[in-house]
Amino acid sequence: MAERGIFVDHATIHRWIVRYSPELLKRLNTRKRAVTGKWHVDETYIKVRGRWMCLYRAIDSHGGTVEFRFNERRNLPAA
């Protein structure tokens, strides 16, 4: 917004997030595609802000990501 010459306080942006996140989540969930009956969990390590994190992804039979989770420690049962 600063690139467009509009200056907004960070507290205002936080209030927008609190106010509009539930509505955005509801709209996005209605557009989710159906998940196939077969899927598996993929585990990999990636660097996020200079720290190594474990990324778990649930992948369906078409190769689409169903769900994902970041974790600092390896914890497959929790994923």
Distance CA 66, CA 34 (A): 9
Listed as own residue / partner, the contacts of 60-63 with beta carbons closer than 8 Å and 24 or more positions apart are 60/35, 60/36, 61/36, 61/37, 62/36
| Domain range summary for the chain, segments of one domain joined by + | 2-71
pLDDT(64) > 60 = yes
In the predicted model, what is the mean pLDDT of the chain?
A: 82
Residues 6 or more apart from 48 whose CB is under 8 A from it? Answer: 70
User: Tens digits of per-residue pLDDT, 21-47?
Assistant: 999 988 887 877 666 677 788 888 888
